[in-house]
Amino acid sequence: MSVQKRWDLFCHVVDNLGDIGFAWRLARQLVAEQAQQVRLFLDDFAAFAHICPQVQPKAAEQTIAGVQIVQWARQSQATPGDVVIELFGCNLSEAYIAQIAKARIPPVWLNLEHLSAEGWVDHHHLKPSPQPGGIVKHFFYPGFTAETGGLLRERGLTQQRDAWQMQPAARRIALRTLGLPPPPEHALTVLLFSYARPQLDGWLSAMAADPRPTALWVCPGPSLQAISAWLDMDLLNGQVTSRGSLTICAVPYVAQERFDELLWAADVCIVRGEDSFVRAQWAAKPFIWHIYPQEDGAHHRKIDAFLDRYLADAERELRDAVIHLWAAWNRGLDLAPAWTGFIDHLPALRRHAASWARQLEARPDLATQLVDAVARLRGERTTVPVANKG
Ligand code: TRH
């Protein structure tokens, strides 16, 4: 167990749920698994409330799951902790930085960056970034290789997932709690959590016309609007409707601790951003990644880099099926033909996803690596962490 330190995490929400999604998962893990003392400075409580319903949006400070949650503006009067984590390059206030500069023992200051499977990440992880006044900040890069900071993974996650999947009752109860009807017998179940994209109609019509029933669970967000347009009705949270073989359920927001269950219950997961992308991999399910679009097209390079790793040992046909559907999804092309090719390979895709999850699990999780990196930067430790199973 590591020496307890005071951690300050800073989360500026750019958009959507991913910034706070990552911050909240990391903060909870540092407290629950690493016995650290964590303060989370946050600037968007409306986004947080979607994934943590018990939050009090107006409270100056509050403690949930052992994490002290503080309004962003209060950093100006705060004394820095032993560790300062700036998430995704968010800017700290000048007053707080001045306090860092004045500290007798300077805190370890890290900029925790976005996840990417690109090779350059290996060379930038834990590199220093000198700041004015002689302070040094370091980069911390999540990633898929031994040279990076790894991926967030709670202790015992795999065992919890497997135990859940062994019990059909767990799935029934989870769906009932979410207000979702049990899917038709032998139905294909698909979870949809994506950004806006054109051309969903051909895909929806193909599923409606397929002899095999499909249950499509749609998370709140832009895809619900596109689906409502195809249905020619406003599909509201919690509502269910059918067209031919396709049953569509609008899933209300679920607390982050229960988000995994949606993935575990589905046969195919369509996920986005960063955190749900990682959770689909821990769910060991065939999945499609709708990557966060960037103006310069950098997201296409990121997908290619990930697929190079993910499909490195896959059979040719399986590779083609995945590449074809992910390209169609991310480039706004007609999905119907690529979808059929993907679904035809489901059993092999399932085996592949399970083997990929096992490979990733062999590496230490991100929170363990972060705690270790901090100890090493403070000169307290020189060893490299080993994977904590599950
Ligand atoms: O919401 P995202 O698209 O997030 C982001 C942000 O846009 C961010 O600015 C960008 O930098 C990043 O993507 C790449 O997708 P993501 O990362 O999957 O985060 C969603 C979080 O919301 C994740 O923690 C799961 C959680 N969630 C719930 O807890 N309950 C829910 O019902 C839903 C739909 C999501």
Q: 378 vs 35, 144, 374, 384, CA distance in Å? A: 18, 25, 6, 14
How far apart (Å, rounded) are the C-alpha atoms in residues 368 and 370? 5
What does the CA dihedral 294, 300, 304, 306 come to, rounded to 10 degrees?
Answer: 20
What is the CB < 6 Å shell around ligand 1?
14-19, 21, 51, 193, 219, 253-254, 256, 259, 272-277, 292
**276 Cα: distance to centroid of ligand 1 (angstroms):** 6
Domain 6-151+364-382 fold: Rossmann fold (3.40.50)
Helix (H, G, I), strand (E, B) or coil at 193: coil
Return the pLDDT at 295.
Answer: 87
Does 157-361 match 6-151+364-382 at the fold level? Answer: yes
Burial 109-131, CB ≥16 within 10 A → b, else e: bbbbbbbbbbeebeebbbeeeee
**105 Cα: distance to centroid of ligand 1 (angstroms):** 36
Candidates 231, 230, 223; CA nearest to 192 is 223
* Catalytic residue, candidates 274, 275, 361, 365: 274
Return the pLDDT at 384.
Answer: 62
pLDDT averaged per 10 residues, the chain (length 390): 90 96 98 98 97 97 98 97 97 95 94 98 97 92 98 98 95 91 94 94 97 97 94 94 97 97 97 98 98 92 98 97 98 95 98 98 98 94 63
Looking at the DSSP bridge assignments, the partners of residue 289 are 271
Model confidence, pTM: 0.96
The full set of domain ranges for the chain reads 6-151+364-382, 157-361
Decide yes or no: CATH 2.60.120.10 for domain 157-361: no
Residue 313 annotated among the catalytic residues of the structure: no
| Ligand 1 atom nearest residue 88's Cα | 11
Side by side, the strands of the sheet bearing 128-130 are 61-64, 67-71, 37-42, 6-11, 83-87, 108-112, 136-140, 128-130
Q: Report yes or no: 111 and 137 within 8 Å, Cβ to Cβ.
A: yes
